């Protein structure tokens, strides 16, 4: 790895360091032809080309200047140092429901340093309520940071850490918990917490943002306000995901943690409930319940069971995929595989011998569908019947991601194939449904 200073590498880095420059210093750059630029030295975009420096002109614009032979960089002096004056945070009312906000990554609230362009995340409760004062009107919030991870870097052991932290909060009497989370794998974490914290007596609300919190249009604040409101007041004890229902800011959908997936790379309404409706909506700050089957707030069904095995895998079948992929997992000692098959739950017929072998070795093979919507049924076609016959377990209308997470959770409790099968088909946290309903009209958006 090339040594880099504030994004500068190689010769330019040498020149800047030799000139004794700091980011934010006022500099004068004189080109060989006499052209003079004056501004403040900025850090450089990590992946940009070498050989340029970035300065911020007095009018606020950044420009890049090529540092070619004969260019002279002179330090004029230190740039203006900002003295951060945080506005007075609103008073928290201890008589309001107590809500714990646990940050695991992403920035749910931040402020911008307009000199350097740096985005500074809100770290403390005070920071958070200063930036999103509305939450102080809804709850007595306490914020803390548990992890600072991009969600794609999360592992089952992180799920355990989060579950453990929430369990502490549940036991110490909070009215609700909000987990801020990067969105990419938020639905995996949501499923994991749903199993680990099954029957939670308080709402556990995962929340994220599709637009970063440093922009005025960010969905972070509206989602966070909704999450705090749900955590504080919802009548259910469930693990849920609170995100925009559509492109508008005024409807937030509350999805069941085992029924939700991220279905768009960038849009605010990326999270959708599949094979189920959202439990509730917050429409113009008003809670609208959408499903009467939920675990009631304060119920005594709470069963804290953390722990996830990493011996489970998810394989998406595609035409021509070789069953050797299964052999690979068997050799590595995996104890269970979720197949994301085609249509009603199929893989090519040449997979059958390998599947039989795996199951004979005691490895659990479960079938979900890459159609996402609908239920698997392996009785309709011959091939399906054959696959079923060798012992593959059809997983009803369970989402592939949820099935994987559940299998990890189940394998952490038993390794007996029959027990695994039984547990996989026993509903724990709303992950299985036995009636599939027609898709409903999209709710009214405004």
Partner 1 sequence: MNYEELGLRVGIEIHRQLDTERKLFCNCKTTPSGGGRIIEFTRWLRETQSELGEIDPAARFEMKKMRRIIYRADTECTCLVEMDEEPPHMLNEEAVRIALTVAKLLGARPVDEIHVMRKIVIDGSNTTGFQRTCIVATGGRIVIDGFEVPIQTITLEEDAARIVESTPTHVIYDLSRLGIPLIEVSTAPVITSPEQAVKTAYALGKILRATRRVKRGIGTIRQDLNISIRGTGIIEVKGVQELDLIPKIIDYEARRLRHLLGLMEELKKRGITPENIQAERPVDVTDIFASTTSRVVSRKISEGGRVYALRLPGFCGLLRSIDDEGVRLGKDLSEYAKAWGGVEGIFHSDELPAYGITQKEVEAVASRLNLKPIDAFVLVADREREVLEALDAVKNRAAEAITTVPGETRGPRPDGTTFYMRPRPGSARMYPETDIPPLIITQSLLEEIASNLPPTLDELASSLSKKHGLSSQLIWELIDSERLEEFEELVGIGIQPGFAASFLTEGYKELRREGYPVDEVEFSKVKEYFELVVRGVTAKESAKQVLSYLSRNPSSSVGEALDKLGLRAPPLEEVVEQIDRLIAEITSEQPHSDPTGPLMGRLMKIYRGRIDGAFLSELVKKRLSALRNR
Which parts of this chain interact with partner 1 (CB under 8 A)?
35, 37, 42, 45, 47-49, 52, 54, 57, 59-66, 82-87, 111-115, 117-118, 120, 130-131, 210-211, 214-218, 221-222, 246-250, 265-268, 445-446
Task: Of 349, 354, 366, give the one whose Cα is nearest residue 330.
Answer: 354
Closest CB 186 distance from partner 1, rounded Å: 18
183 catalytically annotated: yes
- Spell out the residues 6+ positions from residue 214 whose beta carbon is closer than 8 angstroms to its own: 107, 110, 111, 112, 119
Report the C-alpha gap between 330 and 311 in whole angstroms: 10
Intra-chain end-to-end CA distance of the chain, in Å: 51
Query: DSSP letters along 200-243, please?
Result: -SS-EEEE--SS-TTSTT-SHHHHHHHHHHHHHH-SB--EEEEE
- Smallest gap from Cβ 117 to partner 1, in A, equals 4
CB nearer to partner 1: pick between 115 and 415: 115
Residue 5: burial class (beta carbons within 10 Å; 0-12, 13-18, 19+): middle
Write down the catalytic residue from 104, 130, 183, 200. 183
Which one of 56, 165, 169, 262 is the catalytic residue?
A: 262
Cβ neighbours around 433 below 10 Å, total:
16
Q: In whole angstroms, what is the distance from residue 351 CA to residue 132 CA?
A: 54
Residue placing its CB nearer to partner 1 in the complex, 246 or 304: 246
CA distance 345 to 394: 7
Nearer to partner 1, 60 or 333 (CB): 60
| Residues contacting 47, CB < 8 A, separation 6+ | none
DSSP bridge partners of 28: 38, 74
Active-site pick, 107, 185, 189, 258: 107
Q: CA-CA distance, 37 to 51, in Å (whole number)?
A: 16
3-state secondary structure of 179: strand
Nearest-angstrom CA–CA distance, 446 and 131: 26
What span, in angstroms and rounded, lies between the C-alpha atoms of 209 and 220? 5
Query: Residues 25, 127, 158, 184: which is the catalytic one?
Result: 184
In the complex, the smallest distance separating the C-beta of residue 353 from partner 1, rounded to whole angstroms, is 45
Verify whether residue 184 is a known catalytic residue: yes
- CB 287 within 8 Å of CB 280: yes
Least Å from the CB of residue 426 to partner 1: 39
- Name the residue nearer to partner 1 (CB basis): 185 or 218: 218
Nearer to partner 1, 40 or 334 (CB): 40
At 271, list the tokens: 């999270």
Residue showing tokens 């230190």: 78
Give me the least distance between CB of 127 and partner 1, in Å please: 10
What's the CA gap between 242 and 279, in Å, rounded? 10
Which CB atom, from 200 or from 222, has the smaller least distance to partner 1?
222
107 belongs to the catalytic site: yes
68 is annotated as an active-site residue: no
Smallest gap from residue 155 Cβ to partner 1 (A): 27
Nearer to partner 1, 268 or 335 (CB): 268
User: Does residue 408 contact residue 310 with C-beta atoms inside 8 Å?
Assistant: yes
Contacts of 312 (CB under 8 A, 6+ apart): 334, 335, 336, 337, 338, 404, 407, 408, 411
Nearer to partner 1, 115 or 297 (CB): 115
Catalytic residue numbers, as ranges: 107, 183-184, 262
């Amino acid at each position: 790895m090339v040594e880099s200073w504030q994004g500068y590498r190689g010769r330019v880095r040498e020149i800047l360091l030799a000139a004794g420059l700091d980011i934010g210093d006022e500099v004068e750059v004189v080109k060989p032809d006499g052209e003079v630029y004056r501004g403040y030295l900025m850090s450089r975009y990590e992946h940009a080309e070498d050989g340029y420096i970035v300065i911020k002109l007095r009018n606020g614009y950044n420009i890049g200047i090529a540092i070619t032979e004969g260019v002279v960089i002179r330090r004029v002096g230190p740039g203006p140092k900002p003295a951060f004056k945080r506005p007075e945070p609103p008073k928290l009312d201890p008589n309001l429901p107590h809500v714990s906000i646990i940050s695991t990554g992403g920035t749910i609230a931040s402020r911008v340093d307009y000199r350097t362009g740096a985005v500074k995340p809100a770290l403390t409760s005070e920071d958070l309520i200063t930036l999103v004062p509305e939450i102080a009107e809804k709850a007595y919030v306490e914020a803390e940071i548990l992890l600072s991870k991009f969600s794609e870097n999360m592992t089952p052991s992180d799920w355990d850490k989060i579950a453990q932290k929430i369990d502490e909060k549940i036991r110490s009497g909070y009215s609700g918990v909000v987990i801020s989370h990067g969105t990419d794998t938020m639905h995996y974490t949501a499923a994991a917490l749903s199993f680990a914290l099954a029957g939670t007596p308080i709402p556990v609300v995962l929340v994220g943002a599709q637009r970063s919190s440093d922009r005025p249009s960010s969905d972070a604040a509206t989602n966070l306000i909704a999450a705090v409101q749900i955590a504080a007041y919802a009548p259910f004890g469930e693990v849920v995901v609170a995100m925009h229902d559509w492109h508008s800011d005024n409807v937030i959908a509350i999805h069941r943690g085992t029924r939700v997936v991220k279905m768009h790379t960038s849009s605010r309404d990326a999270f959708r409930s599949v094979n189920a409706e959202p439990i509730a909506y917050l429409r113009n700050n008003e809670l609208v319940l959408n499903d009467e089957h939920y675990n009631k707030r304060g119920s005594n069904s709470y069963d804290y069971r953390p722990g996830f095995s990493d011996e489970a895998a998810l394989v998406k079948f595609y035409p021509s995929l070789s069953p050797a992929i299964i052999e690979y997992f068997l050799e590595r000692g995996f104890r269970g595989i979720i197949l994301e098959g085609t249509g009603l739950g199929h893989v090519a017929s040449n997979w059958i011998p390998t599947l039989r072998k795996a199951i004979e070795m005691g490895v659990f093979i479960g079938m979900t569908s890459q159609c996402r919507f609908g239920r698997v049924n392996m009785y309709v076609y011959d091939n399906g019947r054959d696959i079923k016959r060798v012992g593959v377990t059809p997983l009803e209308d369970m989402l592939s991601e949820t099935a994987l997470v559940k299998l990890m959770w189940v394998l952490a409790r038993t390794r007996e194939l029959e027990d695994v099968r039984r547990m996989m088909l026993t509903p724990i946290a709303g992950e299985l449904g036995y009636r599939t309903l027609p898709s409903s009209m999209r709710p009214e958006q405004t």
